[in-house]
Structure 1
Amino acid sequence: MGETNMQFDRREVLRTTAGGAAVLIGLGSVGGASAQDSISVTAVWTDDEEADFLAVVDHVEEETGLEISYEPRDTETLLTSTLMDYEAGVATADVVVLPTEGRVRRDGAAGHLEPLGDLWNEDEYSTDHDTVAVDGEVYAAPFGMDLKPGFWYRPSFFDEHDLEEPDDYDAFLELLAEIDGIEDVEAPLASGNGDGWPLSDVTEAFILRQDDGHQLQRDLIEGDAEFTDERVVTAFEELQELHLEGYFSELRDFGIQYEFFWANETPLYFMGSWTPAFGAIEDPEDLDYFMLPGTEAMVSSINWFTVPAYTESTDAAREAVESIISPDGQQVWTERGGFVPSSLEVSEDAYELDIMRDLTEQADEVELVPDLDDALGDPFQAEFWSQLLGLWAEPDRDVQPIVESLDGVLQDTVGE
Structure 2
Amino acid sequence: MGDDTMNVDRRGVLRGVGGGAIVLAGLGGAGSVSAQDAITVTAVWTDDEEEDFLAVVDYVEDETDIDISYAPRDTETLLTETLMDYEAGIATADIVVLPTEGRVRRDGEAGHLEPVGDLWDEDEYSTEHAVVEANGEVYAAPFGMDLKPGFWYRQSFFDEHGLEEPEDYDAFLDLLDEIDGIEGVEAPLASGNGDGWPLSDVTEAFILRQDDGAQLQQDLIEGDAEFTDDRVVTAFEELQELLQAGYFSEVRDFGVQYEFFWENETPLYFMGSWTPAFGAIEDPDDLEYFMLPGTDAMVTSINWFTIPAYTEATDAARTAVEEIISPDGQEVWTERGGFVPSSLEVPADAFDHDIMQELSEHADEVELVPDLDDAVGDPFQAEFWSQLLGLWAEPDQDVTGITESLDGVLQETVQEDDP
Specify the TM-score bucket, using the shorter chain as the normaliser. over 0.9
Q: Deviations over 1:300-333 (max 9, x none)?
A: 0000000000000000000000000000000000
The one-letter amino acid of 1:16's match is R
Task: Determine if contact 1:94/1:308 at 8 Å carries over to the other structure.
Answer: yes
Q: What RMSD, in angstroms, separates the aligned Cα atoms of the two structures?
A: 1.5
SS of residue paired to 2:228: coil
SS of residue paired to 1:336: coil
Q: Would you identify which runs of 4 or more consecutive aligned residues in structure 1 move more than 4 Å?
A: 1-4
CA distance in structure 1 between the partners assigned to 2:324 and 2:344 by the alignment: 14
Q: Deviations over 1:356-383 (max 9, x none)?
A: 0110111111110000001111110010
Alignment-derived partner of residue 200 in structure 1: 200
Alignment-derived partner of residue 141 in structure 1: 141
SS of residue paired to 1:167: coil
SS of residue paired to 2:391: helix
The 3 A distance-change label for structure 1 pair 9 and 147 is closer
- The Cα of 1:2 is off from its aligned counterpart by 6.7
Q: Deviations over 1:52-98 (max 9, x none)?
A: 00000000000000100000001110111100000000000000001
TM-score, length-scaled by structure 1: 0.94
- The Cα of 1:36 is off from its aligned counterpart by 5.9
- The Cα of 1:205 is off from its aligned counterpart by 0.2
CA distance in structure 2 between the partners assigned to 1:9 and 1:205 by the alignment: 19
- The Cα of 1:18 is off from its aligned counterpart by 7.0
Alignment-derived partner of residue 280 in structure 1: 280
Instruction: Answer yes or no: is 1:344 the counterpart of 2:344.
Output: yes
Q: Deviations over 1:367-414 (max 9, x none)?
A: 100000011111100100000000000011110110000011011111
Alignment-derived partner of residue 373 in structure 2: 373
Task: Determine if contact 2:9/2:366 at 8 Å carries over to the other structure.
Answer: no
Task: Determine if contact 2:297/2:367 at 8 Å carries over to the other structure.
Answer: yes
CA distance in structure 1 between the partners assigned to 2:341 and 2:121 by the alignment: 15
Task: Determine if contact 1:16/1:368 at 8 Å carries over to the other structure.
Answer: no
SS of residue paired to 2:192: strand
What pairs up with 1:31-180 in 2 under 5 angstroms?
37-180=37-180
The 3 A distance-change label for structure 1 pair 103 and 322 is same
TM-score, length-scaled by structure 2: 0.94
The one-letter amino acid of 1:245's match is A
CA distance in structure 1 between the partners assigned to 2:9 and 2:219 by the alignment: 24
CA distance in structure 1 between the partners assigned to 2:360 and 2:4 by the alignment: 18
The one-letter amino acid of 1:361's match is E
CA distance in structure 1 between the partners assigned to 2:97 and 2:287 by the alignment: 29
Segments of structure 2 that go 5 or more residues without pairing to the other structure are 19-34
- The Cα of 1:16 is off from its aligned counterpart by 2.8
Alignment-derived partner of residue 322 in structure 1: 322
Task: Determine if contact 1:40/1:94 at 8 Å carries over to the other structure.
Answer: yes
Task: Determine if contact 2:244/2:395 at 8 Å carries over to the other structure.
Answer: yes
SS of residue paired to 2:198: helix
Alignment-derived partner of residue 212 in structure 1: 212
Task: Determine if contact 1:203/1:236 at 8 Å carries over to the other structure.
Answer: yes
Task: Determine if contact 1:18/1:300 at 8 Å carries over to the other structure.
Answer: no
Segments of structure 1 that go 5 or more residues without pairing to the other structure are 20-34
Task: Determine if contact 2:9/2:367 at 8 Å carries over to the other structure.
Answer: no
The 3 A distance-change label for structure 1 pair 343 and 18 is farther
Task: Determine if contact 1:18/1:131 at 8 Å carries over to the other structure.
Answer: yes
The 3 A distance-change label for structure 1 pair 298 and 53 is same
- The Cα of 1:352 is off from its aligned counterpart by 1.5
SS of residue paired to 1:197: coil
Alignment-derived partner of residue 30 in structure 2: none
Alignment-derived partner of residue 246 in structure 2: 246
- The Cα of 1:269 is off from its aligned counterpart by 0.1
Alignment-derived partner of residue 357 in structure 2: 357
